[in-house]
Every structure is written in structure tokens, then in C-alpha cells.
Structure 1
Amino acid sequence: MEPVYLFNLIDRQKSWLSTRQSLVAQNVANINTPGYKALDALPFARVMERSALEMAGANPLHMRPAPGETMAAATKPADGWETTHAGNTVSPEQEMIKAGEIRGAFSLGTNLQRSFHSMWMSTVRT
């Protein structure tokens, strides 16, 4: 069984949530732009599957890892509820729901990190 790096995992999720929040903000900013297609981030589980293994080489003759996909590039067209006559697929209600989900996930991650940090500190003190 491999160790779980909880703090690293929470940091990666926060980075993904920041990317998703930026996409939500971009969608809301373009709510009246004709032809704009709403974007959303790939689910966090898929992002983690894609970046599960990281290769590194100590020798220049070793295999080099392919350029990895950044979380900002891991986007997909959002599943819109409706499309306007101008071709815009941004739904204000859907974007606000996403923003609420992001806020809740940030809070959960922060609370988990705080709890595990205090448990870790209590074991170090004794």
C-alpha cells in the first residue's frame, strides 16, 4: 500500500478549484457575447488519473516525460442548459451553482487540512 500524501492532494485540488473558478468567472463575463461556448474543467478524478505517474530521469539518455497537460488546459465544453439565439451557451443559474460547489469544496479542503495539521502537530508535541 502506498502512502497517501494528503496535504499534496489538497493542494492539487485547490489548484484545480482555482482553475474551475476562473472558467466560471470567464463564462459569467461572456454571458452576453454572441457565439460564446461555456467552458468547464475536467472532473478532478480525471485530472488525477492523467497525472498519476510522473517520470523523471537522472541521466540525459533516460526517457524524457512528455509535456504534461496543465490543469488550465484540462477544459471541456460545459453541458449547457440552453442555447440563446445568438449561440451563447452560458446559463447564469448553472454558473452560480458551480460557484457554490467550488466554494463548498474550498471550505471542505481547508477544514480537512486544518484538522489533519492539528492532529499531526499534537503527535509531534507528545
Structure 2
Amino acid sequence: MGLDDIPLFSMLKGKLGYVNERQRLLAENVANADTPGYAPRDLKPFSFEAALRPRIGLAGLERTNPLHIAGKPLSTGAGADPFKAEVAPDSETRLDGNQVVLEEQMSKMTEARIDYESALDFYQQSLNLITTAARAPGKS
């Protein structure tokens, strides 16, 4: 049994991958800050529900009672890209058509760095918890 078989670690791995991809896109936006007609791109916010859906298999569930929560069909196939970049213009457009505002991109990069550090810290704490639980009683 690997760590990817544990849903918590699978979701955290997905969050780390999401933040990594977002940082790459934001760096690309900054690199194109002087490219005429360039529109910055960003990812949709990370959703733990979307990350969990393939793990718990909400597709194909049958409701046996009207009070049960209905499952939602999976929207992505097995080989689909989990992180889809979309155009996310900043608040202003220059005369050359470039829509990158460096201050906004730096703010987004700081947000992404904080998200990454938080997810990594939670991942490490979860590993420590598993290590502690796996130790023989009385050992420290």
C-alpha cells in the first residue's frame, strides 16, 4: 500500500501539483509582460470535491432512498488534463493590447507560494502522524 492509496495524501499530492502548475503559469505571465496582445492565464481555484470525486467514484451511484444525496457524473475522463488554464485578464489593458499587470501577478504568486507551503506542511504533519502510529508501543 502506497501513500497514493490514502485519499488524504492523494488529495494533497493533487493540491501540490495544482499549485506547481499555477506557479508555472504565473511565471509565464510575468515573462510575457511586454508581449503585445498577451492575455494572462490562470487556473480555476483548486477544489477538494473535484479531487475527491474520482477517488470515491460518485459516478454511477444509485439512489435507493429519495433522502440520499445524488451522485454527480464525472466530468473528466481518465486521461483528461486535471488543470486547465484559462485566460484571466488583469484589471487593465495597455495600448499594445497586453493585459498583464505585474503587481497583480506578484500578488497571485505570493498566494500560490503560501498555498504550496501550507499544503506541504500539512503533508509533512500527516507523514509524521503515520510514522508515530506505526511505531511500536513504548518507543519514541
- Shared topology, TM-score over 0.5? yes
Which residue is 1:61 aligned to? none
CA deviation profile, 1:80-116 (whole Å, cap 9, x unmatched): 1110011111110111011101110111011111111
Q: Measured at CA, do residues 106 and 77 of structure 1 come closer, stay the same or move farther in structure 2, by a change above 3 Å?
A: same
Assess if the C-alpha contact under 8 Å between 2:89 and 2:100 holds in 1: no
Q: What is the distance in 1 between the residues matched to 2:100 and 2:52?
A: 29
Which residue is 1:58 aligned to? none
Q: What is the distance in 1 between the residues matched to 2:106 and 2:11?
A: 26
Q: State which of 61, 74, 80 in structure 2 corresponds to 1:69.
A: 80
Q: Does 1:98 align with 2:108?
A: yes
Q: Measured at CA, do residues 6 and 40 of structure 1 come closer, stay the same or move farther in structure 2, by a change above 3 Å?
A: same
Which residue identity is paired with 2:50?
Answer: E
Assess if the C-alpha contact under 8 Å between 1:19 and 1:71 holds in 2: no
Q: State which of 81, 88, 91 in structure 2 corresponds to 1:78.
A: 88
Which residue is 1:42 aligned to? 44
Q: What is the distance in 1 between the residues matched to 2:85 and 2:93?
A: 19
Tell me, which stretches of 5 or more residues in structure 1 are unaligned?
56-64
Aligned residues: 113
Assess if the C-alpha contact under 8 Å between 1:28 and 1:92 holds in 2: yes
Q: State which of 2, 8, 12 in structure 2 corresponds to 1:6.
A: 8
CA deviation profile, 1:46-70 (whole Å, cap 9, x unmatched): 8x52882378xxxxxxxxx846431
**What TM-score do you get using the length of structure 2 for normalisation?**
0.71
Backbone CA RMSD of aligned residues: 2.5
Which residue is 1:52 aligned to? 53
Larger Rg: 2
SS of 2:42's equivalent?
strand
Which residue identity is paired with 1:105?
Answer: D
Q: Measured at CA, do residues 70 and 94 of structure 1 come closer, stay the same or move farther in structure 2, by a change above 3 Å?
A: same
Q: CA deviation at 1:8?
A: 0.8
SS of 2:54's equivalent?
coil
Q: What is the distance in 1 between the residues matched to 2:96 and 2:52?
A: 37
**What TM-score do you get using the length of structure 1 for normalisation?**
0.78
